[in-house]
Structure 1
Amino acid sequence: MPDTIRPAAVNDNAEVVLSRRYYRKDAEGNPTENATQMFWRVAAGIAAEEAKYTESPYTPDQLAQEFYDLMTSFKFLPNSPTLMNAGTSLGQLAACFVLPVGDSMEEIFDAVKHAALIHKSGGGTGFSFSRLRQKDAVVGSTGGVASGPLSFLRIFNTATEQVKQGGTRRGANMGILRVDHPDILEFISAKERDGELNNFNLSVALTERFMQAVEKDEDYDLVTPHTHEVVAQLKARDVFNRLVCKAWESGDPGIIFLDRINRDNPTPAQGEMESTNPCGEQPLLPYEACNLGSVNLALMVRGEGDGTEVDWDELRRVVHMSVRFLDNVIDASKYPLDRITETVRKNRKIGLGVMGFADLLFQLRIPYCSQEGLQLGEQVMKFIREQARAASKKLAKERGPFPAYDESIFAEQDLGPYRNATTTTIAPTGTLSIIAGCSSGVEPLFALSFARHVMDGDKLVEVNPYFEDALKQAGAWSSSLMEEVAKKGTIRDMDYLPEDLRGVFVTAMDFAAEWHLRMQASFQKYTDNAVSKTVNLAHSATKDDIRAIYWMAYEMGCKGVTVYRDGCKAVQVLYTGDSAPGEVQEEEIVRERPDVVYGFTQKIETGLGAMYLTINEVDHKPFEVFATIGKSGRSITAKAEAIGRLVSLALRSGISVRAVVQQLKGIGGEHPVFRKKGMIMSIPDAIAWVLEQRYITQDESPVTGGDDLLAPSCPECGAELHFQEGCFLCGACGYTKCG
C-alpha cells in the first residue's frame, strides 16, 4: 500500500460493521486490518486483473488508486463477498449462485454438496425444486414412491444450518416451485410454523397461463415434472387467494413471474431461467453466478438550495468506473466449482445497482410517494443502464465481447457487442448502506431519527443528516423535537411542522403500499435483472390490499414481489388439512416438552420474600420458568406460579427472551427492594432481572421495558430489526439473515 494513500474515513457505525464482518482476522478472531487496509486490499486485488488486457488505458497501479478513491468516497461499493475476500487466498467474490436440482438422488445430493461449498465460500444459493417428481409418485428404478420436493428442501435447510459462510455470512437460500407442480399447495404452506425452513426464502413461480386463469376464474393444470402429464387441476383463484393469505400472515412465500423473467433472458439458447438468488433480484441460469455493486445516489448531486440537481456527469463517470471494476471481479474471483467458472465467464453477467435513493429525493425535496418521485427513479435508472451498457461496449472493444455473445439476443438484434450479458440489478444494500452512511437501495427510510444505545447505558440520538439540515434551514430544529422524532421515527402527524417538510421527509409506513410497488416498477423498467424491494404494509392491511399489490405487480411488469405486513410474524394463523383454499383456522404453536430437561435455580430477594426461580433450558436457551415464594401466602404464591406459566408459554411459543424481558422489566410493586446492581420492583421485574443477567450479554444494547412485541429484535445486538429488500436487517450492527 503506498505511503501517500489517503486514509479511509468511516463513521462509528460503519466501523462496527466492518470490524465484525469484513476485516481480515487472526486465529483468535481479532481484526488484522483497518478500513484503509481493507479498501486497498480490495482495490489492488481487483485492479491487478487489468494487466491481462493490453488495450486498457490504465496500468494496474493507476487503476488501484482509482478503485480505492471510488470506494473510500463511498460513491460505489461492491457486494459483500468482494469486500471480504478480494486479495485473499479464498478469493470467492460473487454474492449469488443458482444450482440445478435434478430428479435423481445423485443430482439432488450433488446440489446439497455444491451448496455447502458455496456457503462456505461466502455465497448464497437459489434452487428450483420444480424438476422433482411429486410426493407419492412412483420411482421406476426402485418401485418405491417419491417423497416430493418438500422433503428434500428440508434436507437442504438442515445442511445449510451446519455450514457457516466463511465465518462471516449466514447461509441464505431461495427455494422456488412452479405453480403448476402437483405439490404446490404443500409448498405454499411450508413455512406456516415460525422457524420452519429458517434458512430459506420461498417463492412460487407464477406463469402467465396461471395468471390468465386467475383473471378468468378458470381451473388450471398440474403437471408432473418427469412425464409432463396432467395429473390434476386446481381452481386458479383459490390458489392465488391462498398465496395472498399466506403473504398476509407471514410474508412467505413470495412470488416471481417466470415468463416475464425469461422474456428478458439474454442467452435463451443456453436454457430457461428457473430460479433466482436468495433475495430474488438476480434470476440466473443453472450454475451461473453474479457479482453485484451499487452506486450511492446520495452523492450524485451538485448545487445548493433550490439549485440542487442530479450531477449527471459524475454519475456517468462513476458508472463507467464501476462497470470496469465489476468486470475485473469476474476474472479475479475463484469460484467453488469448475462448472460455475465456465458458465460465469461464458456470459460475464454483472449487476450494477443503486443505494441512497431516498437521500437523493430528500436533497431534491421530492416526495417518495409522488409522480415526480417515480419519474426521477425511472430517469435515473434509464441513465444508469444506458451508461452501463456504453461502458460494457467500450470494454468489449478493449477485451472482446462475452464468449456467448454470438448466440445472445444482442447478436440477433444487432445491439452489441457487449462485454457483459447483463449490466444492471437493484440488489439489497443493507450492510453496504451502513458502511456508506446512506439510505438502503431504492427503499424509503424506516425512521428519520432513532435512539442508539451505546456504552454504559447512554443513549445517542441519530438523525438523517438531510432531514436535520432541512429542519435547521426552516428554523424548526430543537433537541426536544429530535427526541420526539426518535420516539416516533416519523413526522407525519406533527402538524406544527411545515407541510412541505412533512410531505418530503416520509418514511416507509407513511404512505399507501401501492407507492412502494410503483417505485419498484419504475426502476424495473430499466433494470436488466430484477429489483430487490419490499412492499411494506401497515399491520391493519387486509388480504384485499395484498391481492391488489400482487395484481398490480403483474400488470406493471415487475419480475416478482415481496410484501411484509408490519408485525405479521407475531401471530401465526395456520391452514388445517380440512380447510379449503382461502379458509384459515387458528392453531396453537407451542413446542412439546422433552422428557428430560436441565436447568438451574437462582435465589433472589424480592419485597415479598425470597423467590426461588428455576429456569430449565433446551439447546442452551430458556424453555420454561418456575417461580416459588415461600411463606408469602397463597395469593402471592399463586401469582408467582401464574407468571411463571405464562413466561414458559411465551418461551415455548418462540418469543425471544429479550421480548419477554421487555414486557416484564420495570413493572412496579408495593415493596421494592434495593440490590447492588439496581432495584427489584416486583416479582415480574425480578424474573426479568434474572433472564436479562443470564441470557442478554453485556455487549448488547440494554433492554427497556414495555417495547412492542411485534417488533423483532436483532439476535446479535438486540436492536430492532426492520424488514426491507426481502430480508430482516439490523441497522445497528449490520446483522441480516440473508447474508
Structure 2
Amino acid sequence: MRDHTGDDEVKLTRNAMKVLERRYLLRNGNGQIIESPLQMFARVAEAVDAGRGHRDEFLNAMKNLLFLPNSPTLMNARTPLGQLSACFVLPIHDSLNSIFTSLKEMALIQQSGGGTGFSFSHLRPKGDVVRSTSGVASGPLSFIRIFDATTDVIKQGGRRRGANMAVLNASHPDIEEFIRAKARGGFTNFNFSVGVDDAFMRAVEEKREYPLINPRSGEITETINAESLWNLLAEKAWECGDPGIIFLDEINRHNPLPKLGRIEATNPCGEQPLLPHESCNLGSINLSKLVKKNELDWELLSELVHLGTRFLDFTIDVNRFPIQKIAEKTRANRKIGLGVMGFADMLAQLAIPYESTEALSVAEEIMREIQEHAEEESRELAERYGDYPNIDKGIHKGNRRNATLTTIAPTGTISIIAGSSSGIEPIFAVSFIRKILNGAELREINPYFKKLARERGFYSNALIERIAETGSIAGIPEVPRDIKELFKTAIEIPPKAHVKIQAAFQRHTENSVSKTINLPQNASVEDVKEAYSMAYRLKCKGITVFRYGSKGEQVLHLKEPPLTVDPEYTSCRSTRCIY
C-alpha cells in the first residue's frame, strides 16, 4: 500500500495526543511514557504481521489514520498481556457453578481489556424452587448485580473500567423487573437489552397474549398482553435509555454457524452477536480521510478493505486469549469485524446532508463495496492459509478464512485518535469545549464546518463562541441554510433518519451495527415505539435509543453553556465505551 504522507509524522489533534498518553502509550516501571505514537503503531504492526511481510503497509495505514484496530490491540500488542480482542460473549447456565465460572472468566477478560456480553435468559425466575437447598431462586437480576459489582472493581488492563451487555428474553417471567431495573438506578457497568423474537413482534402487532416461560421447566407461568410489555419497554427506554432491543430471530437468520447453536447475546454495544465463548477483534476504516477532490476514493477504500481484513485475520493468530475455551472457539471460527468511522465527516466533505436519500445510497454503496472486497480477501487468505476450521459446521461452502467479516462499531476513543466522527453517527456538536487533563479546557470545532465557513466568508471568532454555547448552528442567522442542513447535530436529525442509516449499513454487514437513535428531550414514548417498530421492519438486528436528558450521568449538557464534554466523550451508547 502506498505511503500517503511520505514521512514518519503522525498528525494528531491535541486531544488525541492526550488520550494516547493517558491510556495507550507504553510506560516503564516508574510510570514514564516510553514510546511515541509512531512507535506504538510500529509495535502493533510488527506484532500483528509476525514476519508475514505486511508490516510496512499495516504501519502506513495506521500512522496515516486510515485504519485503526480496536483499543485492546493498540494497548496490548507486543506486551506480556497480549490480549487483542474487544468483544466477548460468555455462557450463563442455570447453576451456581456456571454462573460463577463465567464471573471469573469475565474478570479475566476485563482485566485484559475486553468487554463482555451475557444472556441471563436460562436462569430460573425469582421465587422459583431450588430443590438442592429447598429454597427459592433469587432470579437473574440478583446475579447481574454481582457481575456489575465485580466489574466495578476491575480496571481493564490497568487503564479503564469494564463494560457489559445483559440480555433477557421477552419470554422470561422476570422480564418486567428487568425492563424497570435501570430506571431505578444501579447497574452502571451494564447495557441492558431485551431479546425479542418474531412471535413477540407479531403478538404486539396483533394485540395478542404472549406466554412467559420458566426456563428451568419449560412450562408457561403466565400469559401477558404483548402490547403492554412493548409499551413498558418503550417507556423505560424513554426514561433512561435502557433497555435496548435485540431482534434474536433476525440475528439467527444470518448466523453463519447454525450447527454450533443459537446466538443469544452480543458484546456491550450490540454490534457483535457471538456464540458463547467466542471473541471477535474489530477494526475501522476512516472514511473522513478518503475524500479526494470532493469525491470518495474508491480505489483507496478497496485497498484498505483488503488490508484491514488481512490485519484482523492475522490478529487472531498472535492473540493471547485469557481463557483456553475462547482461544479454541475463536481460532476455529475466526470471526472478524471490519467497519468504518468518520461517516458524518465524509458526508460533510461531499456536501451530502445526513438525513438525505443520497446519504442512504452512499451508505449502502460503501458497505456493499466493503463486504465484497472483504469476501475477496478472505478467499485469498483461505487459499494461502486454509478455511476456518469449523467451516463444515457453517453456511459457507469453502474458500473462506473467516466465519464473519464486517461489523459497524461505535469506535469511541479510536475515532478521537483518528480525528474523525464516531462510527456512522452524526456529529454531536459543531463546536464545543472539551475538558482535558489537569482541569485544562480545549475548544474544538468541526474542521469541515470551519473550512466551509472560511470559504463562504461568514467565519469569525465570535461566531464560533456562539456555536460553542449549544453546539448547534440551527438558530444562527448568518449561517447559510445549506450549511445548516449539512451540519445538523445528532438530536436535530429525526429518529426515522437515524434508523434508516442503520438499516442501510446493516444490509451489507454480516455481524451487526452499533448505532444510537438520538431523540430530543421533548420526544414522546410514541416516538420510541415508532423507532423500535421501524427498526424491526427494516431488518435491523437491534436498536438503542437515547433521549437527551434521560440519563443523569450523561456528559453532554446543552443547557449549561458553553457546551462542555469529557476528554473521551463520543456518541457511543455505553457510558463505559471499550473502543
**Range class of TM-score, shorter chain:** over 0.9
Does the aligned pair in 1 maintain the 2:200–2:226 contact within 8 Å? yes
Match of 1:396 in 2: 382
Pick from 503, 506, 509 the counterpart of residue 485 of structure 2: 503
**Are positions 1:37 and 2:23 aligned together?**
no
Aligned residues, how many? 574
Structure 1 residue 11, shift from structure 2 partner: 2.3
Does the aligned pair in 1 maintain the 2:433–2:564 contact within 8 Å? no
Match of 1:727 in 2: 574
Call closer, same or farther: CA 1:453–1:74 in 2, change over 3 Å: same
In 2, the alpha carbon distance for the partners of 1:459 and 1:84 equals 26
Call closer, same or farther: CA 1:708–1:136 in 2, change over 3 Å: farther
**Are positions 1:187 and 2:178 aligned together?**
yes
In 2, the alpha carbon distance for the partners of 1:27 and 1:359 equals 40
Does the aligned pair in 2 maintain the 1:10–1:35 contact within 8 Å? no
In 2, the alpha carbon distance for the partners of 1:209 and 1:36 equals 52
* Bigger shift: residues 287-296 or 163-172: 163-172
Pick from 165, 184, 188 the counterpart of residue 198 of structure 1: 188
Match of 1:279 in 2: 269
Larger Rg, first or second structure (1 or 2): 1
Match of 2:351 in 1: 365
Deviations 1:134-193 (A, max 9, x none): 111112333222111111111111111121111112111111110001111111111122
Match of 1:324 in 2: 310
Question: 1:697-716 alignment to 2 at 5 Å?
Answer: 707=560, 714=566
Match of 1:431 in 2: 413
Structure 1, gaps ≥5 residues long: 51-58, 571-654, 663-703, 729-735
TM-score by length of 1: 0.75
The SS at the match of 1:255 is strand
Deviations 1:601-659 (A, max 9, x none): xxxxxxxxxxxxxxxxxxxxxxxxxxxxxxxxxxxxxxxxxxxxxxxxxxxxxx89x99
Match of 2:511 in 1: 529
* Bigger shift: residues 498-507 or 439-448: 498-507
The SS at the match of 1:290 is strand
Call closer, same or farther: CA 1:456–1:118 in 2, change over 3 Å: closer
The SS at the match of 1:273 is coil
In 1, the alpha carbon distance for the partners of 2:51 and 2:155 equals 29
In 2, the alpha carbon distance for the partners of 1:199 and 1:455 equals 23
In 2, the alpha carbon distance for the partners of 1:456 and 1:67 equals 34
The SS at the match of 2:491 is coil
Match of 2:327 in 1: 341
In 1, the alpha carbon distance for the partners of 2:565 and 2:497 equals 27
Pick from 90, 102, 119 the counterpart of residue 128 of structure 1: 119
Pick from 232, 236, 239 the counterpart of residue 242 of structure 1: 232
Pick from 281, 285, 288 the counterpart of residue 291 of structure 1: 281
Call closer, same or farther: CA 1:16–1:459 in 2, change over 3 Å: closer
Match of 1:629 in 2: none
Call closer, same or farther: CA 1:496–1:389 in 2, change over 3 Å: same
Call closer, same or farther: CA 1:713–1:193 in 2, change over 3 Å: farther
Deviations 1:490-529 (A, max 9, x none): 2222233222212212211222111111111111111101
The SS at the match of 1:564 is strand
In 1, the alpha carbon distance for the partners of 2:531 and 2:312 equals 34
Match of 2:3 in 1: none
Deviations 1:669-692 (A, max 9, x none): xxxxxxxxxxxxxxxxxxxxxxxx
Match of 1:586 in 2: none
Does the aligned pair in 1 maintain the 2:432–2:564 contact within 8 Å? no
Structure 1 residue 5, shift from structure 2 partner: 7.7
**Are positions 1:152 and 2:154 aligned together?**
no
In 2, the alpha carbon distance for the partners of 1:126 and 1:91 equals 21
Q: AA paired with 1:102?
A: H
Does the aligned pair in 2 maintain the 1:92–1:122 contact within 8 Å? yes
Match of 1:356 in 2: 342
Structure 2, gaps ≥5 residues long: 1-5
Q: AA paired with 1:547?
A: K
Does the aligned pair in 1 maintain the 2:18–2:436 contact within 8 Å? no
Call closer, same or farther: CA 1:349–1:458 in 2, change over 3 Å: closer
Q: AA paired with 1:353?
A: G
Call closer, same or farther: CA 1:49–1:427 in 2, change over 3 Å: farther
**Are positions 1:85 and 2:87 aligned together?**
no
The SS at the match of 1:509 is helix
The SS at the match of 2:88 is strand
In 2, the alpha carbon distance for the partners of 1:457 and 1:171 equals 25
Q: AA paired with 2:44?
A: V
Q: AA paired with 1:378?
A: E
The SS at the match of 2:467 is helix
In 2, the alpha carbon distance for the partners of 1:286 and 1:138 equals 26
Call closer, same or farther: CA 1:233–1:8 in 2, change over 3 Å: same
Q: AA paired with 2:285?
A: V
Structure 1 residue 23, shift from structure 2 partner: 1.0
Question: 1:514-593 alignment to 2 at 5 Å?
Answer: 514-570=496-552
In 1, the alpha carbon distance for the partners of 2:17 and 2:479 equals 34
Call closer, same or farther: CA 1:148–1:712 in 2, change over 3 Å: farther
In 1, the alpha carbon distance for the partners of 2:103 and 2:432 equals 42
Pick from 467, 486, 498 the counterpart of residue 449 of structure 2: 467
Identity percentage of aligned residues: 49
Call closer, same or farther: CA 1:175–1:139 in 2, change over 3 Å: same
In 2, the alpha carbon distance for the partners of 1:538 and 1:532 equals 19
Deviations 1:225-251 (A, max 9, x none): 122111111110000000000011001
Structure 1 residue 317, shift from structure 2 partner: 0.4
In 1, the alpha carbon distance for the partners of 2:155 and 2:104 equals 14
Does the aligned pair in 2 maintain the 1:49–1:328 contact within 8 Å? no
Deviations 1:71-116 (A, max 9, x none): 0010000000000001111100000100001111111110111111
Pick from 41, 46, 51 the counterpart of residue 48 of structure 2: 46
Q: Which has the higher contact order (CA 8 A, sep 6+)?
A: 2
Structure 1 residue 377, shift from structure 2 partner: 0.6
Does the aligned pair in 2 maintain the 1:49–1:331 contact within 8 Å? no
Does the aligned pair in 1 maintain the 2:433–2:565 contact within 8 Å? no
Call closer, same or farther: CA 1:262–1:410 in 2, change over 3 Å: same
In 2, the alpha carbon distance for the partners of 1:370 and 1:495 equals 23
* Bigger shift: residues 515-524 or 481-490: 481-490
Does the aligned pair in 2 maintain the 1:49–1:332 contact within 8 Å? no
Call closer, same or farther: CA 1:456–1:67 in 2, change over 3 Å: closer
Q: AA paired with 2:271?
A: E
Call closer, same or farther: CA 1:90–1:150 in 2, change over 3 Å: same
Match of 1:485 in 2: 467
Q: AA paired with 1:707?
A: E
TM-score by length of 2: 0.95
Deviations 1:354-411 (A, max 9, x none): 0000011011100001111111111111111111111111111111110111221112
Does the aligned pair in 2 maintain the 1:296–1:355 contact within 8 Å? yes
Call closer, same or farther: CA 1:516–1:144 in 2, change over 3 Å: same
Does the aligned pair in 2 maintain the 1:248–1:542 contact within 8 Å? yes
Q: AA paired with 2:560?
A: D
Provide the aligned C-alpha RMSD in A: 2.2
In 1, the alpha carbon distance for the partners of 2:438 and 2:146 equals 44
Does the aligned pair in 1 maintain the 2:341–2:415 contact within 8 Å? yes
In 1, the alpha carbon distance for the partners of 2:478 and 2:269 equals 40
Deviations 1:673-730 (A, max 9, x none): xxxxxxxxxxxxxxxxxxxxxxxxxxxxxxx9x9379x9964xx6x9x56x23224xx
Does the aligned pair in 2 maintain the 1:534–1:564 contact within 8 Å? yes
Structure 1 residue 454, shift from structure 2 partner: 6.9
Deviations 1:25-52 (A, max 9, x none): 22333222111111111011111163xx
